[in-house]
Amino acid sequence: TYPSTHGVYEEGIREICAAVHARGGQVYMDGANLNAQVGLTRPADIGADVAHLNFHKTFSTPHGGGGPGSGPVLVSERIVPFLPIPDIVKSGDAYSLDHARPDSIGRVAGFFGNVGIVIRAYAYMLTMGAEGLKKASEYAVLNANYLKEKLKGSYRLPYDVACKHEFVLSAKELKDNFGVTALDIAKRLLDYGVHPPTIYFPMIVPEALMIEPTETESRESLDAFIDVMGRIRDEAEKQPELLKEAPTKTPVRRIDEVLAAKQPVLRFKVRPLETMLNKKHKGLDAKMVEFGGWEMPLQYSNGILQEHLATRKGAGLFDISHMGRFIIRGAQGLAFLQHVLTGNAAALTLKRAQYTMIANESGGAIDDCYLYRFHEEEYLLVVNAANSPKDWEHLERHRAGFPETEMLDKTKELAMLSLQGPESRRIMEQLLPGGGLPEPGRNNLSIAALDSKPLFIARTGYTGEPLGFELFADSAQAESLWSRLIELGAVPVGLGARDSLRLEAGLPLYGNELGLDPEGKEIPIFALSLARFAVSFHPDKGDFIGRLALQEQFNDHQKILDRDFDGVGRLKRTVQPIALLGKGVARHGDKVFFNDRQVGWITSGTVVPYWKTTGEGLESRLIDETGKRPVCLGLIDSSLLIGQDIDIAVRGKRIKAVVVPHHMRSEAPPHSRAICYGGEGAGTSAADKPEAPT
């Protein structure tokens, strides 16, 4: 086998294989020891003719894989004609069986393998990718050599050369001097909570301990193993009887490895990605969580409520670099966007942005997104972080019909920050004293210069604030830009307050107000009030994905406006703001009732803080007094109009609520005003509760 089971390089392997070939022989390569080879060597380059690719260890499956040798057999070109029949042949998207192999050895019976192991290994390979598998091999080699160098002073090392993913120590000296065997050492390791190494294999090394750290071991765990092995060495000299009685704390029984492989308890977790500002967040003592495959700040030391209030009265600073950023350009770029997006990209003039959707044929949302046009011949599409991989796959699949379109993923190259709140304009003007901000008005764009590098600025945001900017900068500028904005008065805000801010503003979140409802049914795009801005049926659009279904939804939307609820087919339920009148907090999945009949679900709900106000209309202003109120959005029967009293089942208790037009307003910039129903608050009092039309 190669690498040999004593873990060292076989420097003459090519000469050995050549000698075998010269005499008409074939070379079989054991595929059970590939931990140190994947991505670094190739069996064919070594001279192997056949290799059995065992999935265990190397590809994250249990030893033996629930059956001997799970995995494919690889052969060289000269052996291909002799493979068993039938051969599986792919032609285009179709597969067929090929029996026309005159030199084939004929049919062979397949063994009873464990298909779950094969799927698990395949998923592991796809997750890691070529570079990840190569890194795993490199780490396995690094870990083994680190242990070897640290332990060779305490135990005899038969082969003191660079090793691959494993190496062999010998306990023969300890056996000869103190009567302590390799088996005694292995059993004593159990008492220290360490999985013991393989012993007595290979037989060429007496009292062998084959040490095989995996690529997943950390420096700390390796050092802990080194420490334990040092203690056991001392015990062997001073208290050999202790080792002979081991294990003293751990029950010894044979593990049913076959059962473990057939009924695995899997806890496979991919390390989350990090934005360019990850160190900045941790330096601010942010509470980090995994979101959409990224490690992101949930909140900072002040907490979610204070971050929410700081945004409404000052300026909140958000790291949104986890969102996907795709560049679309080329001669057919616009035609491609018209086909895959619901908005009319042709109407997007230079230095403008638009809210849009990626729809499926049934009129559901694959994602909601924003399209920016900073350059004449290029568009920037920003998508949700969790949906970014599937969005890219969907867009790439349809790009095949537009060959003169180029699509680039700039997520890691382009940082994205959001500055929201009434103080955001002052901060931006101080950041850019030479000017360069977009013209007033939502969705306007500009390109400014910051430190002689372009800073792309958009008057967009996800908080409902009348003043706000989203900033795109080279990733190398991200930390400097973040720090300067904080120095100018911005308050860092995490995902927690970002969610409460968007909920108060009535903005949708994919997975709650878009995607699937709590019953697993697809939510139509026109269930959202924002659909009228995100979907266009202009003649310039042509036939785009989902157009027919969206047209039917739009027709239902018009009927709802005319209160013709009997004729509604597609939009039985729509997303509407709901205010709780009693004590309690509604959450995603809570049921909504009208006259004891379930009429929908809560899609998002929480408690949000607010600044109280004095004065009315344009004369109103925020005061230094705060309150809290529960707000939510619900997917409810479209026949329920504003002002309709309803009930929400919260933890088994019915709470009074009302359908409302909104939870906040912004008629008097730069501040937004909270609207409260059923109690003292900002903007509207209990007496101003809307009434359902008759």
pLDDT band per the 50, 70, 90 thresholds, residue 688: very low
658, 578 in Cβ contact below 8 A?
A: yes
Q: How many CB atoms lie within 10 A of CB 130?
A: 10
pLDDT for position 70: 64
438, 419 in Cβ contact below 8 A?
A: no
How many alpha carbons lie under 13 Å from residue 584 in its C-beta half-sphere? 18
**52: nearest Cα among 71, 35, 26:** 71
Residue linked to tokens 């599986």: 88
Indicate the pTM of the whole model.
0.65
pLDDT for position 254: 54
Residue 74, pLDDT above cutoff 80? yes
Q: Alpha carbon of 139 to those of 10, 31, 143, 247, 612: distances in Å? A: 20, 19, 6, 31, 57
- The reply to whether 328 and 191 lie within a common domain is no
Residue 42 per-residue DSSP state: -
- The reply to whether 98 and 160 lie within a common domain is no
- The reply to whether 148 and 88 lie within a common domain is no
- The reply to whether 249 and 306 lie within a common domain is no
pLDDT more than 70, % of the chain: 90
Over the stretch 232-282, which tens digit does the pLDDT of each residue have? Answer: 999 999 999 888 888 876 665 555 655 665 666 666 667 899 999 999 999
- The reply to whether 208 and 327 lie within a common domain is no
Quote the CA–CA distance of 171 and 154 in Å, as a whole number: 10
Choose one of 76, 103, 129: the last residue of a domain: 129
Choose one of 262, 291, 315: the last residue of a domain: 262
Instruction: Return the CATH number at 105.
Output: 3.40.640.10
Instruction: Return the CATH number at 676.
Output: 2.40.30.110
67, 112 in Cβ contact below 8 A?
A: yes
How many alpha carbons lie under 13 Å from residue 194 in its C-beta half-sphere? 24
Helix axis angle for 219-238 and 182-191, nearest 10°, is 120
**451: nearest Cα among 420, 473, 418:** 473
Does residue 197 lie within any of the structural domains? yes
pLDDT for position 690: 40
pLDDT for position 44: 87
Quote the CA–CA distance of 586 and 467 in Å, as a whole number: 29
- The reply to whether 256 and 162 lie within a common domain is yes
Residue linked to tokens 């409460």: 500
Looking at the structure of the chain, the number of domains it has is: 4
Does residue 198 lie within any of the structural domains? yes
- The reply to whether 488 and 396 lie within a common domain is yes
Does residue 524 lie within any of the structural domains? no
Residue 526 per-residue DSSP state: G
CB within 8 Å of 274: residues ≥ 6 apart: 294, 295
- The reply to whether 287 and 420 lie within a common domain is yes
pLDDT for position 253: 57
Helix axis angle for 333-340 and 388-399, nearest 10°, is 120
- The reply to whether 282 and 326 lie within a common domain is yes
Over the stretch 103-144, which tens digit does the pLDDT of each residue have? Answer: 999 888 766 566 777 888 889 899 999 999 999 999 999 999
- The reply to whether 288 and 437 lie within a common domain is yes
Choose one of 232, 262, 292: the last residue of a domain: 262
Average pLDDT, the chain: 89
Question: What string of DSSP letters covers 398-431?
Answer: HHTT-TT-EEEE-TTTEEEEEEESTTHHHHHHHH
- The reply to whether 402 and 384 lie within a common domain is yes
Over the stretch 175-190, which tens digit does the pLDDT of each residue have? Answer: 999 999 999 999 999 8
| Contacts by 506-511, CB closer than 8 A, 24 or more apart | 506/464, 506/577, 506/633, 506/662, 506/663, 506/664, 507/462, 507/464, 508/368, 508/575, 508/633, 509/604, 510/365, 510/367, 510/368, 510/384, 510/386, 510/387, 511/386
pLDDT more than 90, % of the chain: 66
Over the stretch 532-557, which tens digit does the pLDDT of each residue have? Answer: 999 999 999 999 999 999 999 999 99
Average pLDDT, stretch 435-450? 97
Is the model more confident about 58 or about 238? 238
Does residue 517 lie within any of the structural domains? no
pLDDT band per the 50, 70, 90 thresholds, residue 491: very high
Quote the CA–CA distance of 112 and 118 in Å, as a whole number: 12
Does residue 342 lie within any of the structural domains? no
- The reply to whether 424 and 478 lie within a common domain is yes
Provide the residue range defining the domain that includes 76. Answer: 13-129
pLDDT for position 680: 45
419, 316 in Cβ contact below 8 A?
A: yes
pLDDT for position 687: 33
Over the stretch 570-589, which tens digit does the pLDDT of each residue have? Answer: 899 999 999 999 999 999 99
Instruction: Return the CATH number at 410.
Output: 3.30.1360.120
Does residue 298 lie within any of the structural domains? yes
Does residue 519 lie within any of the structural domains? no
Residue 693, pLDDT above cutoff 50? no
Over the stretch 596-633, which tens digit does the pLDDT of each residue have? Answer: 999 999 999 999 999 998 887 667 788 999 999 999 99
Is the model more confident about 7 or about 16? 16
Q: Encoding tokens for residue 249?
A: 């704390």
Is the model more confident about 56 or about 655? 655
How many alpha carbons lie under 13 Å from residue 235 in its C-beta half-sphere? 20
What's the distance, CA 481 to chain centroid? 25
pLDDT band per the 50, 70, 90 thresholds, residue 498: very high
For 275, the 3-state DSSP assignment is: coil
Does residue 256 lie within any of the structural domains? yes
pLDDT for position 251: 62
Quote the CA–CA distance of 523 and 343 in Å, as a whole number: 18
pLDDT for position 35: 74
